[in-house]
Homo-oligomer: A and B are copies of this chain.
Amino acid sequence: MFSKATEYALRATIFIAQKGTEEKKLSIEEIAKAIDSPKSFTAKILQALTKDNHIISSVRGPNGGFYLTEKSKQLPVRIILQAMGDEEVLEKCVLGLKQCSELQPCPMHSQYKSIRKQLKELFVTKSIKQFASEIKDGVIFINNS
């Protein structure tokens, strides 16, 4: 469904939203361990989400690390897909036709479109915060290494 990079981005962002605060930031070390992802690769991903997109906030130096502002937590999870350049799946033809339309539907279109719509709905209507709070509420995991 998504690239490894996007999977790590989603896991990391949700984890940071749940555990990090401006007072107690999370280091790349902690994050990579928590979500079971390669540290340097994850660093690159967080860098992108910080620099270009301001989805994640970061501070360098001692007691530095990553956290999310309240505003960021309220963004739809789709924003992460967007930042990672991996939201194509929410729009694209399941058979890879250059465009998906009612005018030129592929053989699977009529059956597939409702599934894709639900998927899009999930990423558009639910915020980062909502999934972060899932972890808090119940017995929910962000890794299972």
- Write the residues of chain A forming the contact surface with B, with a CB cutoff of 8 angstroms: 1-2, 4, 7-8, 10-11, 14, 89, 92, 94-99, 104-112, 114-115, 118-119, 122, 126, 131-132, 134-135, 140-145
- Contacts A11-B95, A92-B1, A95-B10 hold; do A115 and B118 have CB atoms under 8 A apart? yes
Number of copies of this chain in the oligomer?
2
A107: contacting residue among B97, B131, B144, CB under 8 A? B131
The residue on B at minimum CB distance from A143 is B97
Min CB gap A60→B, angstroms: 28
Minimal Cβ-Cβ distance residue in B for A8: B96
A130–chain B nearest beta-carbon distance, Å: 9
Can you offer 9 A-B residue contacts whose CB atoms are under 8 A?
A: A1-B89, A11-B96, A11-B106, A95-B142, A97-B141, A107-B140, A111-B126, A112-B122, A115-B119
